[in-house]
Structure 1
Amino acid sequence: MASATDMASAAEMAHGVQQPLARMLECMNKEQLREFLLRLPDKHLCQHSPGATPVQPEEVGGMEVASHLVAQYGEQQAWDLALQTWEQMGLSELCARAQKEPAMKSGVKEKYQNQRRESSCPTQSWRNEYLHQKFTQLLLRHRSQPRGYDFLLRRRNHEVVDEQGQLMEIGDLFGPGLSTQEEPPTVVVHGVAGIGKSTLARQVRRAWEEGWLFKDLFKHVFYFNCRELAQSETMSLAELITKDWAAPDAPIGQILSQPEQLLFILDNLDEPKWDLKEQSSELCPHWSQQQQVHTLLGSLLKKTLLPTASLLITARITALWRLKTSLKHPRWVEVLGFSDSARKEYFYKYFTDRRQAIRAFTSVESNPALFTMCLMPLVSWLVCTCLKQQMEQEQPLSLTSQTTTALCLHYFFHVLQAQSLATKLRGFCSLAAEGTCQGKTLFSPEDFRKHGLDGANISTLLNMGVLQEHPTPRSYSFIHLCFQEFFAAISYALGDRVLKSGRFNNIKIITDLTDSWWKMFFSILKVSGSLRELDLSGNSLSCSAVQSLCDALKSPHCHLATLRLVSCGLRNNCCKDLASMLGASPSLRELDLRHNELGDRGMKLLCEGLRQPACQLKHLGLDQTRLSKKVQKKLRVLQQEKPQLVISSRWLAMSPSNEEVTEMEDTQMHMIHDLISELLTDDW
């Protein structure tokens, strides 16, 4: 047991961080503090014993939370965890205030400086052990030119088979040797959506602040998220710099006196629909002059403003054509995602419980397709979140998603099904669609009200992790642009009439899809057991599509009761898969196969499946007049063997009183998400 002296000593040591941390926490409102507590890896303050009253945020003060964090993680890790959590919540103003705290500048940060001075090679500090422990490493490749829309080929160990380009480290972004140009570089970090571009940009800024990266190269590093800059119409260079300065008044003259020691990070430059190509090559305004934001940024890109400053830009590959002509001597760096070891490292950082981390990673590693998808940080986060949901619900770990779209369906289905948002989904999707069309990613409370969403709906979406809040000015954005595009596509997929009704339990698929799309569509049946009825009548299904459907119906997670395949162009070569499915899908009660050319051969195969003990079918719709007398006789014998089975040439709906077949009122919302597979590609 610790003595009073030991406890006093420990309190004195923690005082430097605990007090300012408590002050920062006290600045948060109750909703923000609740979200902060829920995001902590150790939810001790949120947990309670069975039957006990849950701890409410208003019952926990900032000092109590700060004391717990410091005691649990120590000074530096507590401070880092708070900053990281505020950043995830989108509380950029709070992060900025925390960065200028004296405790951070003189106390905690001094430890970083002392450690840095001990480095044997300061100019190569990015290679030290600390940086590799601090950040999950991303694979980077320098190219002479950005690749086009072709897919990058990778082997399992991420050896790049494209001859152009070379792998590089984060510390080489502004290093010599990548080009012979003498001008300060403009580094364009590009890649598919969700691959880790913004993650890399924030890592560069944070590592520089902590003294581990580019400290000898840049005196000032400024980070700007372009989605936030797009909220302003006009701005001066001085105002731009002040936005990312810890103190209210930035010493602009002093900062600009050495422009060669400045680095401007422009994250998500491609998101706003700016026209950066029409800037005058002679434009070089004074730093105090007001101008349109896109003009200001265009001047920085073309080096007509601060020509000796360095730039780091992030953008999607698909948007590079809009930026390329505005750039002067760009250095192209592609983000390839996580390596195998980095994926494992990410899982062990996400799950603080080592046993949970081992379970989760082992489950994913055994699924080659899913493991490959996890090279994207966004996908790794989705996978970990879905697996954690299954752990919390004490379910067996099972993710069968083969594409990023299917994984997104899985995530949002489980997130949305617990909320009564069916009648509000129309407004939410139309908000996302309007923003996508206008190049808008930040939404004001008024934008939400315009689409029929009130403060309570916003709070629900924040708690679900679909939205994040930006405090100044108060606005909201999707946690990732991919998710905004996802809900926008839902709006286009279903149209206004279906969304306005708020009822999605009778959606009928009417669009012809390719086999790969059908496979993606049917993957949702493996995700949730809530779907009870599926009507695919009128859609032409190939043998491959039928095989994908039957494989999905065999899943232990699938509890489909009614399947209608009327006029789907089915032939006898589909019946082997259907028969196999009948013997392995005990939940199926009704199957309508009318107006298909199954033939005698196909019906013989179906009879074998119907005779299986596991088959509990109660109604089978068939065109018996198209069958031979011999096969019709076999069907009558089958009905005698299974008196509960009704075979009819017309559809006889089962009684609603039959609980085994009754549809669930709100269980088919995920059909919305299935339709999205027509509109989204796997190349986020």
Structure 2
Amino acid sequence: MTEICCTISTILHQKKLITETEHKEIKRLHDIPQKMASSEFLCKVVLEKENAQAGRAMWQELINFQTNPQCQKLKSILCEIHAKGSALLEEITVNAVGSEGVQEDLKEAQQLHKETLRDRNRRLVMNSIIGREKVQSFLLEDHYTDLVVISSLREMRVVEHELLVRGRDHERWRQQVIKKELETLKHHQIFRSCFGIESRSTSVAISGVAGIGKTTLLQKIVYDWAMGKIYPQFHFIFHFKFRDLNSYGSTNIRTLILDSYPYLSRDLDTILQNPSNLLFIFDGLDEFRTTISFTGPSGCNPDVSLCPDPVTLCSIADIVRCLIQGKVLEGSSVLITTRPTVLKLLKKSIIHLHAEILGFNAEQRKQYFLNFYNTEAIGEKAFCYVEQNDILYTMCYNPSYCWIICCSLQNTFRETPGEQLQRPRTITELFSNYIYNILQNHTQEQSHSQDILLRLGDMAYQGISERVIVFSESQLQENGLQPSQFLSGFLMEILQTEYSLKREAYSFFHLTVQEFIAALTRFISTPPDQVTQLLDRASSIKDGKFEIFLRFFSGLSCPWYQKLEPFFGELPYATTCRVIDWVGKRLLRKMRNKRKLLNSFHCLYECQNKGLTQAIVTKIKNINFSKTSLSPVDCYLLAWAFEPCEMIGILNLQYCQITAESLRRLVPVLHKCAELWLLNVNLGDEGLSILSEALRRPDCRIQKLVLASNNLTDACAPTLADSICTNQCLKQLILSQNVFTSTFVLSLNRIILDCGNLKDIFLGSNQIGDLGVKRMLEALRHPNCKIKSLRLWDNSLTDICAEELCAALEENTTVLMLDLSRNAFTAQSVSSFVHLILTSKSLQDLQYSGKIRF
């Protein structure tokens, strides 16, 4: 409310519901700035009024403001007021006087519980590929970095592969956070109401892609609670991982808790008597092998609880479902984390808050690099290198990718001068370097490393096929892998082992590591004559789970693979040829499927084969990615691919909603397009400024430029005019459905007179008005005017400009078509239009109300 306090005060003052003195004081406090005091004073003034008219007016304005994208918090506040009603006042009152502490007979149990959780969560542990240390351990308090977490009920859908799709959205979300269109949360704010009070009986779902920091965020929450820093309303927190719960059959809540916290056996029954003081945390829904149905099992009434109490035996799925829905231990709170790919499972559940972890912002990425290396100087060098590589930099929003990139670059950046080692450019080169560094640390095991890695690859490939990312000990044994190999082998640096509840679970350090291992081992072991069949089969899978696998497989045909030959031997030349041939044919074959076409370009980039690239792109005349979400990386790849071309026919990006950053990546090839379609891409004035770089080039070939529906304003008009008049190549300019006014016409006249080849101008559905048309008359009368088609539909034109416009066009000898439809002309103007048709030297088609032809 602090952001809109002055606006509401002004409205109330205009309606004479508050005095001039009161309004000035509210504004003074807001401008100091003491925005909170300003809001409090406004509320005080309104509440003290004798009648309720001022209060009603204030609430009405608040309701009107809730649709404002910069007032997301206000919308949440109003929803909470509506949902809780008078109960909200009770919550605030209880919070003001202090919440009830843990009962006396449970204090000892709580203290032991907090000490246990403190010890379990004190340190961050990561497998290492650096030096001879297998595990690196850090104090959580020293190394935890805040993540960007947004509170948002965005669309829940299965996304394409998470490696770059979230990078694609990340820049857009970052801009929304800056503009306050998205509300951000700190880890200590998740269980607070919109009024800042500690909230009970809440279900929260936090989503985030693999490696983004979901588990670490939970670790921070549990640790800080155990330290007494946050959430005093919860007397006990019970933390579980779905990967551990996979091994359970029928159980009950009581047994589930005691398996993890056996020291609570004496007091658990008492603890469970006050469920409103309890928080249950479940980490990694995507790792749970049983589907949780929030609509109830088939044939069952979803309102009937299959877990009526803490002692009834039932499945883990029913326990989680009933806890979230409040059908068991009613009043307790639940926090659940998941990857976005399974968010749809929660769509019909009762979730009070959906939050999403975006990962690192630009400053946090750099800080990660500076902290990782021995000196800040090396960290600065490494970060500068990554920042200049669009592929690698985009990955750095994810903490796990930051770790992989830093590890892979470790040996290529040194304090002392020496041999300059080749640095990775593509994701295939990056992960090849990652595996190379691991194998280099285990040279004594080279004799059997290939055999172990091939078995590991079989398990990884099967996991991708079945969407399995957590493996049991029995699954390792089925693939000929023995857990004992972790004691001395390199395997533990690729797989993570977790010992919890006396059960062992194994997962790759990151999903993308799993996909690289699968691709590498298939690349090594597949006979050349079966390569095409393998790639076709992976490509035919519609849900996109093999997209990154295909990129890796393609990239391994790059000469960088030679780096791994000491460990796996020389690869048959025929395999590389089959891969390159497949990539080329697939790209030309998938032109109609935009997502597969885009992934084919990614595969082409991974190959780093300039000859293949040039041979393919010269055969592609038109590029159509309309209605496709393009990230800065996607745009960078398109620019890279088409850089060898001298001419591109049509580049169709309409309805892509690309960011200014994405457009900047395309600048090196935009000038090569004969037609550039940027309809409804949210370009804005900033994007137009970027586009002008391409338009100004002396070799610009753009003849048709479509910029309709892009929120362009008069502010960008001089830049547009300067760039268009520079190239002298443009024939058709479409600027419909923007927000140009009469001021824009001053720049438009320059375009009409100085751009000799321009023939068609579309200005429909703007705000040119009568004044704008009158300003245009000078250009239309000028002998240098070459315009043949002028479209001014829906521009608030009236009879005021009709006569002068017709008079100017009588002198014009070039305009063949004039569209004035959907304006405010009346019968008064008909005579002018008829006279124009009869006397014009060139006009063949005039449209105003209906159509008149001759």
Asked if 2 retains the 8 angstrom alpha-carbon contact of 1:241 and 1:250, the reply is no
1:476/1:551 CA distance change after superposition, 3 Å: closer
Equivalent of 1:259 in 268, 275, 279: 275
Please tell me the residue identity of whatever aligns with 2:355.
V
- 1:184 matched to which residue of 2? 201
Please tell me the residue identity of whatever aligns with 2:384.
T
- 2:792 matched to which residue of 1? none
- 2:323 matched to which residue of 1? 300
- 2:353 matched to which residue of 1? 331
User: Is residue 84 from structure 1 mapped to residue 101 from structure 2 by the alignment?
Assistant: no
1:291 counterpart SS class: coil
Supply the distance in 2 between the matched residues of 1:87 and 1:546 (Cα, whole angstroms). Answer: 30
Please give the residue correspondences for 1:305-320 in structure 2 after superposition, counting only pairs within 5 Å.
Answer: 305-320=328-343
Q: Deviations over 1:239-280 (max 9, x none)?
A: 222233273736212321322121111110122232221254
Q: Deviations over 1:642-672 (max 9, x none)?
A: xxxxxxxxxxxxxxxxxxxxxxxxxxxxxxx
2:382 counterpart SS class: helix
- 1:288 matched to which residue of 2? 311
Equivalent of 1:205 in 198, 222, 227: 222
User: Is residue 226 from structure 1 mapped to residue 239 from structure 2 by the alignment?
Assistant: no
Q: Percent identity?
A: 21
Please give the residue correspondences for 1:355-366 in structure 2 after superposition, counting only pairs within 5 Å.
Answer: 355-366=377-388
Please give the residue correspondences for 1:563-574 in structure 2 after superposition, counting only pairs within 5 Å.
Answer: none
Supply the distance in 1 between the matched residues of 2:506 and 2:531 (Cα, whole angstroms). Answer: 29
Q: TM-score, normalised by structure 1?
A: 0.54
Please identify, of 314-323 and 457-466, the stretch whose mean Cα deviation from structure 2 is larger: 457-466
- 2:608 matched to which residue of 1? 552
2:400 counterpart SS class: helix
User: Is residue 340 from structure 1 mapped to residue 362 from structure 2 by the alignment?
Assistant: yes
Equivalent of 1:449 in 474, 477, 485: 477
1:183/1:322 CA distance change after superposition, 3 Å: same
- Post-superposition offset of 1:142: 0.8
Q: Deviations over 1:525-565 (max 9, x none)?
A: 375553775423575377x97996799368xxxxxxxx999
- 2:344 matched to which residue of 1? 321
Structure 1: runs of 5+ lacking an equivalent? 1-75, 90-107, 109-129, 555-562, 579-684
Please tell me the residue identity of whatever aligns with 1:187.
V
1:371/1:456 CA distance change after superposition, 3 Å: same
Supply the distance in 2 between the matched residues of 1:265 and 1:550 (Cα, whole angstroms). Answer: 40
1:171 counterpart SS class: coil
1:458/1:435 CA distance change after superposition, 3 Å: farther
1:234 counterpart SS class: coil
- Post-superposition offset of 1:360: 2.7
Asked if 2 retains the 8 angstrom alpha-carbon contact of 1:242 and 1:250, the reply is no
Asked if 1 retains the 8 angstrom alpha-carbon contact of 2:152 and 2:183, the reply is yes
Supply the distance in 2 between the matched residues of 1:575 and 1:358 (Cα, whole angstroms). Answer: 32
Q: Deviations over 1:335-374 (max 9, x none)?
A: 1111122222322333354444333333323434422321
Aligned residue pair count: 444
User: Is residue 482 from structure 1 mapped to residue 477 from structure 2 by the alignment?
Assistant: no
Supply the distance in 1 between the matched residues of 2:329 and 2:465 (Cα, whole angstroms). Answer: 33
1:507/1:207 CA distance change after superposition, 3 Å: same
RMSD: 5.0
1:294/1:288 CA distance change after superposition, 3 Å: same
1:426/1:389 CA distance change after superposition, 3 Å: same
Please tell me the residue identity of whatever aligns with 1:135.
Y
- Post-superposition offset of 1:300: 1.1
- Post-superposition offset of 1:167: 2.2
- Post-superposition offset of 1:467: 3.2
- 1:525 matched to which residue of 2? 558
- 1:33 matched to which residue of 2? none
Supply the distance in 1 between the matched residues of 2:644 and 2:551 (Cα, whole angstroms). Answer: 15
Please give the residue correspondences for 1:90-109 in structure 2 after superposition, counting only pairs within 5 Å.
Answer: none
Supply the distance in 2 between the matched residues of 1:547 and 1:145 (Cα, whole angstroms). Answer: 30
- 2:438 matched to which residue of 1? 415
Please tell me the residue identity of whatever aligns with 1:137.
D
Asked if 2 retains the 8 angstrom alpha-carbon contact of 1:136 and 1:345, the reply is no
Asked if 1 retains the 8 angstrom alpha-carbon contact of 2:209 and 2:339, the reply is yes
1:487/1:361 CA distance change after superposition, 3 Å: closer
1:170 counterpart SS class: coil
Asked if 2 retains the 8 angstrom alpha-carbon contact of 1:360 and 1:397, the reply is no
Structure 2: runs of 5+ lacking an equivalent? 1-114, 129-138, 160-167, 541-546, 589-599, 622-640, 646-854
- Post-superposition offset of 1:507: 6.1
Decide which structure has the larger Cα Rg and report it.
2
- 2:254 matched to which residue of 1? 238
Asked if 1 retains the 8 angstrom alpha-carbon contact of 2:499 and 2:505, the reply is yes
Please give the residue correspondences for 1:577-656 in structure 2 after superposition, counting only pairs within 5 Å.
Answer: none
Asked if 2 retains the 8 angstrom alpha-carbon contact of 1:363 and 1:397, the reply is no
Asked if 2 retains the 8 angstrom alpha-carbon contact of 1:410 and 1:524, the reply is no
Q: Deviations over 1:113-171 (max 9, x none)?
A: xxxxxxxxxxxxxxxxx97x652011011113445457535259654489864222222
Asked if 1 retains the 8 angstrom alpha-carbon contact of 2:382 and 2:413, the reply is no
Equivalent of 2:144 in 135, 153, 174: 135
1:82/1:368 CA distance change after superposition, 3 Å: same
2:222 counterpart SS class: helix
Supply the distance in 1 between the matched residues of 2:368 and 2:519 (Cα, whole angstroms). Answer: 31
- Post-superposition offset of 1:437: 5.9
- 1:466 matched to which residue of 2? 495
Asked if 1 retains the 8 angstrom alpha-carbon contact of 2:205 and 2:355, the reply is yes
1:547/1:384 CA distance change after superposition, 3 Å: closer
Please identify, of 333-342 and 343-352, the stretch whose mean Cα deviation from structure 2 is larger: 343-352
Q: Deviations over 1:359-405 (max 9, x none)?
A: 333332343442232111111111111122445897647654455x7
Supply the distance in 2 between the matched residues of 1:572 and 1:145 (Cα, whole angstroms). Answer: 37
Please identify, of 248-257 and 544-553, the stretch whose mean Cα deviation from structure 2 is larger: 544-553
1:524/1:262 CA distance change after superposition, 3 Å: farther
Q: Deviations over 1:273-304 (max 9, x none)?
A: 32221254332433223222222112112211
1:453/1:519 CA distance change after superposition, 3 Å: closer
- Post-superposition offset of 1:328: 1.2
Please tell me the residue identity of whatever aligns with 1:306.
L
Q: Deviations over 1:592-639 (max 9, x none)?
A: xxxxxxxxxxxxxxxxxxxxxxxxxxxxxxxxxxxxxxxxxxxxxxxx
Supply the distance in 2 between the matched residues of 1:291 and 1:398 (Cα, whole angstroms). Answer: 57
Equivalent of 1:367 in 380, 389, 396: 389
Bigger relative contact order, structure 1 or 2, given CA contacts below 8 A and separation 6+?
1
